[in-house]
Amino acid sequence: MPIDRNPIRNIVILTGAGVSAESGIDTFRDANDGRGGLWEQHRVEDVATPEAFARDPDLVLRFYDMRREAIQTKKPNPAHHALARLDKEWEGQLLIVTQNVDDLHERAGARRVLHMHGEHLNAWCTACDVRSRWTGTLIERPACPRCGEPALRPDVVWFGEMPYEMDRIFAALRDADLFVSIGTSGAVYPAAGFVRNANELGARTLELNLDRSQGSHWFDETRLGPAGRIVPEWVDEILA
């Protein structure tokens, strides 16, 4: 990227499943490429929708119980740790907008994190609308800790549902000098559209990914490689 004289103060970082791949968490892409990621012969889109939950709640609850249990056995990788270091040392604005529902950014120590698609470790009561920290299962229809109703669902944004905190995300994009996308295929909207928003708002755009994504052509620069290597390299560079 050409040496640009205007300093970078405000950064928005979008992360996807690729940043957690080296921690042993399946990416969606893996889930769909027939390598046994299919859940009981169902496409991810067929279990991560409100319609699927209405049609077969047991199937959906088991899908999320399995993933909620799995992420608690995983550890953050060097990419998570590098972003946590950047979060600690960066004096300007910084927001890590993650599409991931795991808690590995936070377990690595990052604080300025926004989960636009929700979190596995929360349960959402559809009776009293309260979200409660949840590390167990939901298949047995446990009572809501607040209202006692057996009306808990995973606190994740399903296809067709509005992502969380879109206003806060767009406010950060408006202030951003730099937009960085890490470990995402650019297949799911509105997240996949942020790079174009960032371009239009005058920010520089950088992609760090294993393979070129569906939106690579929108970025000023693309660096290819495993996040566990190229993210720490980039963080060292920007903190230098």
* Annotated binding residues: 64, 67, 99-102, 125, 128, 144, 147, 183-185, 209-211, 227
* Shortest Cβ 163–ligand BV8 spacing (Å): 6
Q: How far is 238 from 198, CA to CA, in rounded Å?
A: 19
Q: For residues 35 and 111, which CB has a smaller minimum distance to ligand BV8 in the complex?
A: 35
Residue ranges in contact with ligand BV8 by CB under 6 A = 16-18, 21-22, 27-29, 48, 99, 101, 117-118, 156-163, 166, 183-185, 187-191, 209-211, 213, 226-227
* Shortest Cβ 4–ligand BV8 spacing (Å): 25
Q: For residues 60 and 203, which CB has a smaller minimum distance to ligand BV8 in the complex?
A: 60
Q: For residues 88 and 196, which CB has a smaller minimum distance to ligand BV8 in the complex?
A: 196
Reply yes or no: is the peptide bond before residue 190 cis, omega within 30 of 0.
yes
Q: Which residues contact 98 (CB under 8 A, 6 or more apart)?
A: 14, 15, 16, 19, 105, 113, 114, 115, 116, 117
Is residue 80 annotated as a catalytic residue, yes or no?
A: no
Among residues 115, 117, 120, 217, which one is catalytic? 117
Determine how β-strand 11-15 pairs with β-strand 178-182: parallel
Residues forming the annotated binding site for Zn(2+)? 125, 128, 144, 147
* Shortest Cβ 2–ligand BV8 spacing (Å): 25
What are the DSSP E strand ranges found in 146-187?
152-156, 178-182
* Shortest Cβ 148–ligand BV8 spacing (Å): 27
Report the 10 Å Cβ neighbour count for 100. Answer: 25
Q: Is 136 exposed, middle or buried (0-12, 13-18, 19+ CB in 10 A)?
A: exposed
What the block records as the tokens of 133 is: 């920290």
Q: Which residues are catalytic?
A: 117
